[in-house]
């Protein structure tokens, strides 16, 4: 990653910040592939946000809805995807892909954590 690289005009660049960023096409493909992969945890989060309060209402525990868990479930995929995109600006393709992959893994880990917490705090439903 570090070390001198030579650009077309023969000048030396010192680090990845100065290296030419990934081309638009490869960036777009990367965004799209990871958008699809992030979409499923986001879909799960949204569907929980919509369905769980209704289930709790029907079970007579409308006041015990774990809103913070539902919000984390929706916010985590969005924040981690956007964060990985922002941190990847101006970098080469590999660091971008690495950050998006780490964010995707973290999204899924958080989703499983949220589900487990929700089961723990769930009150007895009628």
Partner 1 sequence: MARTSEPIDPDAETEIDADDDALSWAGDDLRGGIDPLTRNRVNASRDGDPAASDPDAAPEPPRSLARTAATVLFAVLYLAVVVGWILSAQITGSPATDVFSQVAWQFGEFVAIVSGALWYLTVLTLTPDSRTRVRVGWFALGVGVLVPWPVLLAVLS
Point out which residues bind partner 1 (CB under 8 A): 1-4, 12, 14-15, 40-41, 95, 98-99, 101-102, 104-106, 108-113, 115-117, 120
Contact predicate 48/72, CB 8 Å: no
Residue with tokens 């929706």: 74
**Distance of closest approach, residue 98 Cβ to partner 1, in angstroms:** 5
Closer CB to partner 1, residue 26 or residue 108? 108
Q: Which two tokens stand for residue 120?
A: 């723990």
Residue with tokens 């499983």: 112
Closer CB to partner 1, residue 25 or residue 108? 108
Closer CB to partner 1, residue 2 or residue 124? 2
**Distance of closest approach, residue 112 Cβ to partner 1, in angstroms:** 5
Closest by Cα among 112, 80, 74 to 99: 80
Dihedral sign, CA of 75, 80, 85, 90?
positive
**Distance of closest approach, residue 80 Cβ to partner 1, in angstroms:** 8
**Distance of closest approach, residue 105 Cβ to partner 1, in angstroms:** 3
């Amino acid at each position: 990653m570090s070390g001198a690289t030579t650009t077309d005009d023969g000048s030396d660049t010192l680090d990845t910040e100065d290296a030419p960023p990934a081309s638009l096409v490869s960036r777009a493909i990367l965004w799209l592939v990871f958008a699809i992969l992030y979409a499923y945890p986001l879909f799960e989060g949204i569907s929980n946000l919509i369905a769980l309060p209704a289930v709790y209402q029907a079970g007579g525990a409308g006041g015990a809805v774990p809103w913070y868990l539902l919000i984390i479930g929706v916010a985590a995929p969005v924040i981690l995807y956007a964060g990985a995109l922002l941190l990847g600006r101006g970098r080469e393709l590999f660091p971008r892909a690495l950050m998006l992959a780490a964010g995707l893994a973290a999204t899924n880990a958080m989703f499983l954590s949220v589900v487990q917490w929700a089961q723990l705090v769930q009150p007895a439903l009628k």
